[in-house]
Structure 1
Amino acid sequence: MFQRRVLCGIQPSSVPHIGNYLGAIKKWIDLQNSGDNLVVMLADLHAVTIPREPETLRKSVLETAASLIASGIDPKRSIIYRQSDLYHHTQLSWLLGTLTTVQKVGHIPTYKSKVKDESSIPLGLFLYPILQTADILLFKTTHLPIGEDQIPHLQLCTYMIEKFYHYYKKNIFPVPQMMATETNRIRSLRHPEQKMSKSDIEERSRIDIMDDEKIIQERVMKALTDFNAHVSYDREQRPGVSNLIDIYAGMTDQPIESIVAEAQKDNMNTGAFKKRLAQIIIEHFRPKRAEYLKLMNDRSYLLSILDNGRERAKEIADSTLNEVKDIMGFN
């Protein structure tokens, strides 16, 4: 009944780090190359649940777009666009907001984890899950490549679909299916008990995928491990070394057991393993970085790609929003 469509969303926070790449972007490219119908949304509205410096936001959108395209997202095969270019997101979010309650949204764990002071909750942060549901339903998304931390948001989306049907007796939205990724979550290079994050003030904690080769080499070599030079995998007892093995597995698609066995066969210590991993990362991203720099040096061309993506996304969004408004009595 519904055309298969995959929605991929990413907040524009400059160049994605290697954890973003292995956990999401690489999967999106595989889906695109296997023939899936992809919509790639630069979620700049979600990026301003609290205010951001305007110039930083503008620059981050372009850097994220250039990174995705350089990595393999093909604007001819997939739609890539800025969320804020379509008013449909916020209008549908408002309409869907009539179908749920403050209590329902307030129980979402990912929202609650970001609230530090319950007496001063940013409204944008509170409404974030409803806007996220609008993003999904606007394209009648059938599949979502998301992690387990997004399951509560998917459940809210399903709840709103059921509420819409209950009130209006129209089945116009597919219930989206989760496409779980098998990649282990990449951890901080300096604090492997934490996930890799752009919000970490210590830049050595991560590798951004368009970093130059010297930075990649330095950050891998200085990644925190332990006093045991033996290469083995144990996320509880040896989180630092295990994190590097996870990155190696993500970059090469090799099973973890095979990587460890190969390192032990070659009598490789952690220092030598780091050198090999750094070279793998550098060689993988070298052509992508060249393409990224080319795109960033041609701002007008990059903006034209996003403009074209907006028009293609708008065709779908116009149809969905008009259908919803007609059912609800606005047309």
Structure 2
Amino acid sequence: MLTKTTKNIFKNILKQFYNIKSFSSNDANALMKEPQYPKRIFSGIQPTGAIHLGNYLGAIAQWVKLQNQKEDIILSIADLHSITLPHGPKKLSKNILEIAATLLGCGIDPEKVILFQQSAVPTHTELCWCLGCISTMARATHVPVGEDQVQQIQLTQDLARMFNSRFGNTFPIPHTIITGTEYARLRSLRDPLKKMSKSDPDPKSRICLTDKPDDIVRNIKKARPGVSNLISIHSFVTNKTVDDICREAGNINTGEYKLLVADAVISYIKPIQEKIFYFLSNEQYLLDILKQGGEKAAEISEQNMEEVRYKLGLKFKIKSKQKVKMSVL
């Protein structure tokens, strides 16, 4: 995550490069008037491991809600991002299919959402090179993020404003959609001071959507002090308020309460698991979904990248297809 200092340094460098006096989001005089773009939502998830309950509550469940509101949504399995971590090629390929199956099992509908593999859209990395940072290819207008990612979206907003000011309106200024505020930062079961993470080396630190019931019971029973974390989980999977849970569990000890939470979690994720394993048993279907999504995403991104190339001077505008004969001097 970018620190405030790093962000300011990067902003200052880019200001000097583009020779822009100011690109503050509040300085309307320095910016061209932003045109209205159709609303489009972009988000993604890295295939660094099995999706856990925190990923589901904080992001995926919100994507499903947005999808059912008939929003224009593009979701990326960010495999290029994930190779910054040590990985094995076979494991990465397996993770990509498992992430796709899990997203479908959680309710993502490929008929309503473009689901694609990041590496299948090379224009993504081309724009990354042109802008000097990672940027979405779909000209998204809204980006669902957790509270800890807002700073990165702010930097993207600044870059979009600078590009538009220098080369003409090209990118919409993306707006954040804060997702799953109550659940987006579920804590590690082993260390409540840390966020639940797919890449944590300790598998007992999280509850994965594909975990066996016995593993869920074991992990919750061994959860370190941090009962508020379990209450948050319990509240979501039972749709009960925190006050109701505290009142109902007021006469039982911590060990008994952990078993209560484990039973509730197992019941909640059981139908999701059944769908995940169904899709995992149909690998060709997953490959077809990713191929179709990649083609749709590539078509959108290529149109946008063509405009970027032209505005940067990398692409010539062909005025006529008529052949011109050249004489030898």
Q: TM-score range by the shorter chain?
A: 0.7 to 0.9
User: Does residue 290 in structure 1 map to residue 274 in structure 2?
Assistant: yes
Distance 1:202 1:283 in 2: 24
1:73-222, aligned counterparts within 5 Å? 73-97=108-132, 130-131=133-134, 134-135=135-136, 138-168=137-167, 170-181=168-179, 182-184=181-183, 185-222=185-222
Q: What is aligned with 1:248?
A: 234
Please identify, of 300-309 and 313-322, the stretch whose mean Cα deviation from structure 2 is larger: 313-322
Deviations 1:297-329 (A, max 9, x none): 221111011011111212211211112112222
* TM-fit CA distance, 1:27: 1.2
8 Å contact from structure 2 (residues 50, 198) kept in 1: no
* TM-fit CA distance, 1:213: 1.4
Distance 1:50 1:245, change over 3 A: closer
2:245 to 259, 277, 294: 259
Deviations 1:254-307 (A, max 9, x none): 33233223322xx23323322222122111211221221122122111101101
Query: Which of structure 1's runs of 4+ aligned residues deviate more than 4 A?
Result: none
* TM-fit CA distance, 1:31: 1.2
Given the two structures, how large is their TM-score scaled by the length of structure 1? 0.80
Q: Secondary structure of 1:140's match?
A: coil
Name the structure where helix makes up a greater proportion of residues: 1
2:104 to 69, 76, 83: 69
Deviations 1:72-96 (A, max 9, x none): 1111111111000001101111111
2:93 partner amino acid:
R
Q: Secondary structure of 2:116's match?
A: strand
8 Å contact from structure 2 (residues 74, 114) kept in 1: yes
1:271 to 235, 238, 255: 255
Gaps of 5+ in 1: 98-129, 226-239
Distance 1:53 1:199 in 2: 14
Distance 2:252 2:278 in 1: 38
2:98 partner amino acid:
E
Q: Secondary structure of 2:96's match?
A: helix
Q: What is aligned with 2:64?
A: 29
Distance 2:37 2:248 in 1: 46
Distance 1:51 1:246 in 2: 32
* TM-fit CA distance, 1:243: 0.7
